[in-house]
């Protein structure tokens, strides 16, 4: 059957309109999708920019805190060589941490959290230095006052008895001083379970006192027992099951540990270990060394 020309033209027009309508629908849909994607990308970019800005602000604040701590360390000083040495080490740690922060991207959150923890540790160390310096200064003032008082009393006593005792004192003093054993280089160190030197109180397994008996031709030859008395930061004497007593002057004293050596007039180096102490606390430990006839010296050890 032959299609009427007019109907064919009408049909073609309808098909053309239908195709145009479908194309417009596709174009509109694509535009809507493109706008939605643009909105999502804009939101993501805004969120990322805001997060980066916040992280940069946190990094700047952390850097400022470290610089403040560095200034505090630089302004802190003491009259004690051991503390000054530790202060120098802590100053180097602060400077190194500031350099690390500067070289680390603010978006590296794990590193920034690590640096915050290190900042807290350095602040705690700073506080401990302040406490130690204050304690030592207080102790030094007391010792200075006690020494001044003792000098005044000694001077008064000396003047009262000078004419009566001067000659006898000179002769007996020369003999006694010449024959008494003396020592040098007394030192107290702490060791961990790996026999390595440490200053961490929680790592200490034992203490070691070392000294040298100096050469003395006038001193008595033979066995000599050297005693040490170690006191903790509270002034409490450290003892264990092997501790012993000894007589010094008119007093009976408790010794933390002791060791016997053979003395023949020449210099003798010796070491005395102090073991089996349950625990150690932070602070300054003191050691005094004695023989039955003399005090050989005194030294200190700072544990953190």
Which pLDDT value is given to residue 7?
A: 72
Q: Band of the pLDDT at 93, cuts 50, 70, 90?
A: confident
Taking 80 as the threshold, does the pLDDT of residue 229 lie above it? yes
Domain 181-303 has CATH 3.40.366.10: no
Q: How is the chain split into domains, by residue range?
A: 1-179, 181-303
Record the tokens describing residue 222, joined without a space: 């033979």
Residues 176, 180, 184, 190, Cα dihedral to 10°:
-130
pLDDT tens by residue, 144-196: 778 777 788 878 778 877 765 666 565 555 555 667 889 999 999 999 999 99
pLDDT tens by residue, 250-263: 899 999 999 999 99
Coil, strand or helix at 218: coil
Coil, strand or helix at 280: coil
**What DSSP designation does 235 have?**
S
Q: How many CA atoms lie within 13 A of 100 on its CB side?
A: 17
Q: Band of the pLDDT at 207, cuts 50, 70, 90?
A: very high
Q: What is the pTM of this model?
A: 0.44
Which pLDDT value is given to residue 64?
A: 85
């Amino acid at each position: 059957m032959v299609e009427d020309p007019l109907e064919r033209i009408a049909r073609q027009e309808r098909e053309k309109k239908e195709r145009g309508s479908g194309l417009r629908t596709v174009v509109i849909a694509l535009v809507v999708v493109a706008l939605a994607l643009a909105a999502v990308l804009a939101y993501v970019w805004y969120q990322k920019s805001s997060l980066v800005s916040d992280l940069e602000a946190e990094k700047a604040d952390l850097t400022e805190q470290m610089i403040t701590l560095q200034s505090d360390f630089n302004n802190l000083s003491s009259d004690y060589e051991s503390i000054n040495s530790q202060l120098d080490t802590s100053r180097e740690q602060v400077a190194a941490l500031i350099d690390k922060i500067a070289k680390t991207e603010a978006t590296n959150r794990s590193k920034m959290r690590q640096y915050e923890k290190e900042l807290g540790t350095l602040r705690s160390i700073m506080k401990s230095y302040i406490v130690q310096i204050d304690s030592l200064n207080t102790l030094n003032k007391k010792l200075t006052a006690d020494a001044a008082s003792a000098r005044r009393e000694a001077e008064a006593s000396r003047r009262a008895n000078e004419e009566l005792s001067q000659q006898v004192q000179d002769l007996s003093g020369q003999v006694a001083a010449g024959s008494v054993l003396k020592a040098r280089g007394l030192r107290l160190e702490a060791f961990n379970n790996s026999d390595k030197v440490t200053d961490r109180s929680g790592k200490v397994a034992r203490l070691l006192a070392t000294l040298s008996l100096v050469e003395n031709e006038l001193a008595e030859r033979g066995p000599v027992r050297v005693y040490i008395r170690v006191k903790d930061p509270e002034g409490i004497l450290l003892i264990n099951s092997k501790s012993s007593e000894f007589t010094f002057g008119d007093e009976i004293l408790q010794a933390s540990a002791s060791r016997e050596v053979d003395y023949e007039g020449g210099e003798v180096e010796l070491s005395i270990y102090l073991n089996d102490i349950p625990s150690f606390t932070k602070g300054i430990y003191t050691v005094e060394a004695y023989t039955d006839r003399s005090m050989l010296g005194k030294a200190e050890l700072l544990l953190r």
